[in-house]
Structure 1
Amino acid sequence: MRRALVGGVTLPLATCGVVFIVATTIVSTGIGLTTAAAAAAPPANPLRIALMPSPFPGTPSDFPANADPADAGPMPASFARKLRGIHAVGRGARFFASIPFGPERAQTVSGLVVTTPSPAQARKVFAWQKRTALRPRKGDTRLRLPRFGDEQVGLLGGETDSGRLLVRRNRVVWRLEVAPDGALRLSPARVRGELVKYATKQRDRVGRG
């Protein structure tokens, strides 16, 4: 009977065939179980990756120290119902900061982070946000920005001195808006610069998504 060396042990060739079949079956099953487990994994906590104010004085913050108010928290239950309405699974968190630049003059930074269990779910959320929150308004123009994810769209609000950005990175979708409040005016260059600054922070928090 022909023999072969497997793992340092000489076995009959017929036995080797059995060994190879069993090993292949085990590996394939393991991959299947891993894939199924990953698909069934619940969405991560979005508050862990959303832009955050300082929880205590003197601790790190994604916003300037004089931002007031600055807040972050989970999205209300109505948001979950909207996700179910588009047949998507996910969890949402929102953030907001008002940065003063003198009496009755402030810049606001606000946004949303949605975590999902898979890229397919995230693509649903991205498409929904693109046709609702990122729908072009009168005077809006497309904004060219560095890449922050797998998909993105940016808009410059010419009549409102504001900018909006929507990004999908793997299983995470996030939205960012920079706008003036009160008598403050923001030039297009300033809007772009502020979007890039906070988008870079949000991208770093999301990581691989």
Structure 2
Amino acid sequence: MGLVLHHRGSSIVSVKVDLSFVSCRGGYATWFNRKASDPNLLTGAIVGGPDAYDNFADHRDNYEQTEPPTYNNAPLLGILARLHGGHGGYNQLLPVEVHVAKPIAAQPKPNPVKETPFAAPVVIEQKPTTSWVANGKTYYRYSAIVTNKSGKTIKNLNLSVSKLYGLLWVLTKSPSGSYGFPTWVSSLPADKSMEFVYIHAASPAQVSLSSYTLA
């Protein structure tokens, strides 16, 4: 975390130092451009962080790297809290009987699944990457790699995912129930791959190619 956050409540003088009322514009004009570190500490706030080359400019006006906005903090903290809480009482995981030999293996018995339905120019590879036990059940995190082998750019990709008993990240689910590119991806160039992950207490889900177009 930077010492000079792009955050009005963090940069304005502490009420313990100045009891007078500080207006929004007045606080911005008086305190925002000060060179000293922030007088108020935001515990646990997550800022934008370094760029793609691991460079970080600790300047208050560098809002892309030093601002702790809700769209950075809320999703990440929500996911971490959900994973930490396990199954709980949310009933987001369907009941699954998982028979695991003792001692519990680090990975499920099925080998990595490779699916190329109908000889389509898309290769889907799945593998478990980690596992843990919570409330008497063994949960697995699976990584699925989708690779474009068509020689052309793929657009409007739709994947069918069945026997999924948990949460899936990255892909965008359509009203019809299929899964497509994440919101920040519109196409997959030739010989390029994308990854999505999911967690559930079962063997790998069934992932297959539903439809696509070539550009």
The alignment's TM-score, normalised by the length of structure 2, stands at: 0.28
